[in-house]
Amino acid sequence: MTGFGTATADVAGGRFTVEIRSVNHRFSEAQVRLPRDLGALEERVRALVTEQIRRGRVEVMISRDEGTRRPRAFRADVDLAASYAQALRDLAASVGVSGEINLAQLAALPDVLRLEEDRVEVEAFWPALESAVRAAVGALVAMRMAEGARLAEDILVRALALERTAEAIAGRSRGVVQAYRERLSGRLAELLGDTPVDEARIAAEIAVFADRSDITEELTRLRSHLEQFRQVVTADDGAVGRKLEFILQEMGRETNTVGSKANDLEITRAVIDMKGELESLREQIQNIE
């Protein structure tokens, strides 16, 4: 599900801003972007996010305000300067050049003076940063829950439509055998005319048809899956997306079997409608944690 959360953390010298956003994804994926010097905290931040968000692609951006830049200072590499000086003296002696090496010349040589930032102790920042990350995740979760409530309403409406279609199929299926008997009798009457019809043979044929087209068990299992589906949607039981996917898969299997067994045009049309609803449900469920 989609969502956004933000929070700030005041620390010595400035402030960190935490922004978290999520988009739909079938699996769990968390990307964390931190200032480079705080890279050691990446796994901790990711753990805080994934303990509350189990599905979706989550992006965490932690930025540092200008006021929190670390103090910087020039530092001299004395050993490197001494090495430069000795090398220059050796060069002067070998080519017969006289002259003294001054400080300005040494300072101008590469890496003798370096601008460095003071090393930050990341542990000093963690308590405030942890609090900000938790607050941002909380705001994100609240937004996702609101979206989830809207999705649940839509899903329950679609589940109700499936249940009504299943009941209509059940009602229609009770007359399928009789309709087949009438069609078969009419067809035989056209073909045989006044020739006597073997009623036992017709009865056997109808019995085979009735057994082959019986969808009672499939409809019973489909109703059971629909009831379980509603219970999972309305239950306050944390992450339910994968469970709903599994139930939906079973519902699709029963629907396909109904369509293949019921030799009736109206039932076939109803099964097509059910498949459309199941596909819409599948798309919606992929957005649910």
pLDDT at position 224: 93
Once rounded to an integer, what is the mean pLDDT over residues 257-269?
A: 84
Sequence-distant (≥ 6) Cβ neighbours of residue 261 within 8 angstroms: 212, 213, 214, 215, 218
This model's pTM is above 0.85: no
Other CB atoms within 10 A of residue 175 CB:
12
Q: How far is 113 from 217, CA to CA, in rounded Å?
A: 84
**Domain ranges across the chain:** 3-69+123-141, 72-117, 147-285
Three-state secondary-structure class, residue 99 = coil
Report percent pLDDT > 70 for the chain.
80
Note the CATH number of domain 3-69+123-141. 3.30.230.40
Q: How far is 95 from 120, CA to CA, in rounded Å?
A: 47
pLDDT at position 252: 92
Say if residue 83's pLDDT is above 80.
Answer: yes
Backbone phi, psi, residue 95, to 5°: -105, 0
Question: Could you tell me the pLDDT band of residue 197, with boundaries at 50, 70 and 90?
Answer: low
Backbone phi, psi, residue 120, to 5°: -95, 135
Are 252 and 278 in contact by the 8 Å Cβ rule? The answer is yes
